[in-house]
Amino acid sequence: MKTCQCHTFSSIIRFSIVAGTGLTAVDCVRSLVKKGCQSIHWFSRSGYVPTVISRQAKYEPEVFTWDKIKSELNKRERGERLSRIVSLLRREVAYMRNPEILKADELRAKGDLSGYWDYLIDRADKSDLPFQDTLSSTRYFAHKIWLKLSEKECLEFQKSFGAFWACWRHPIPMDVVEELNVYAKEGRLQLHRPVAPIKIKGGKYILETSRKKICADALIDGTGGVGGVKDVKSTLIRNLLVRGLAMEHPCGGLKVDGLTYGLQSKLRNSGIYCLGPLAKGSLFSTNAFWFNSLCASNLAHYLAIEIRFSSFEEGCRQ
């Protein structure tokens, strides 16, 4: 199988199947197009596809706020909290005048990929994405909710809502979606939901949907993320785990602070930071270059503040 190291392909792939529709898969699609691929078939078992970053957040949540979420969390025991959080979000959607998620999901369910993106691009351009604004408002407290959930609830969230969260909480830049939308309108990019595992026959990969079978020259893993880390081959990760400098997350990858990207460990502060797919257990992860570059920029900003503050404290003690 040809995996999602799209930038290393030496020969032109004319027909390709890409597994996954998240940020990593977006990178794969764009790379394939640049290398001359004429037909790209995206497939996703969840059916979710990227959403568009709004020009400006204008909607302020009325129900799904940290104060109300915290109140619900404090009323419940671990194991009873996730359902209440989901209920609050649904109440917020009911409060919205015109939530974009309803029409967008209708278009997506019909398989109208370009119609879906046309709709979201238009509303993003008008800064009229209240559902996105609501999820984006969780930036500073989502990690607090996560820590309040039981391990069973975290696993349930990843299973039931992981793809949904990645799609709606982590939209992609408008210019990238517009580029993908051009490919969709040209017929070069198509979205499918498989009804059977991918098969290999005569050196071709076969994707079966409810309507047809699609043959391709290559199958590319664009799902990103990792599972358990106990059996990883990386000597670095094994040593971090053995020395207590990192901890495995039950949802996959390593435990990472959602705000600082610091590894959570038995030590108070190991000084080790983690970006990319190893952060899978902390709600979201990706191999996507642009997103990890953004995270690296945020981390550099955070470290600069920490270093400056430490230097100030040291100067005061002298």
Count of structural domains within the chain? 3
Q: Do 184 and 166 lie in a common domain?
A: no
Q: Do 158 and 188 lie in a common domain?
A: no
Q: Do 252 and 184 lie in a common domain?
A: no
Q: Do 137 and 190 lie in a common domain?
A: no
List Cβ neighbours of 57 (8 Å cut-off, separation of 6 or more): 127, 132, 133, 136, 137
| Inter-axis angle of helices 66-75 and 82-95, nearest 10 | 150
Show the domain range for 135: 66-171
Token pair listed for 258: 């959602």
Q: Do 124 and 269 lie in a common domain?
A: no
Digitized pLDDT (tens) for each residue of the chain, 318 residues in all? 344 444 444 466 889 999 999 888 999 999 999 999 999 999 988 889 999 999 999 999 999 999 999 999 999 999 999 999 999 999 999 999 999 999 999 999 998 999 999 999 999 999 999 999 999 999 889 989 998 999 999 999 999 999 999 999 999 999 999 999 999 999 999 999 899 999 999 889 999 988 889 999 999 998 876 677 877 788 888 899 888 999 888 888 888 887 788 898 887 777 899 888 888 888 777 777 888 888 889 889 888 888 887 776 666 776
When computed from its CA atoms, the radius of gyration of the chain, rounded to whole angstroms, is: 21
Residue 186 within a domain:
yes
List Cβ neighbours of 196 (8 Å cut-off, separation of 6 or more): 208
pTM beyond 0.85, yes or no: no
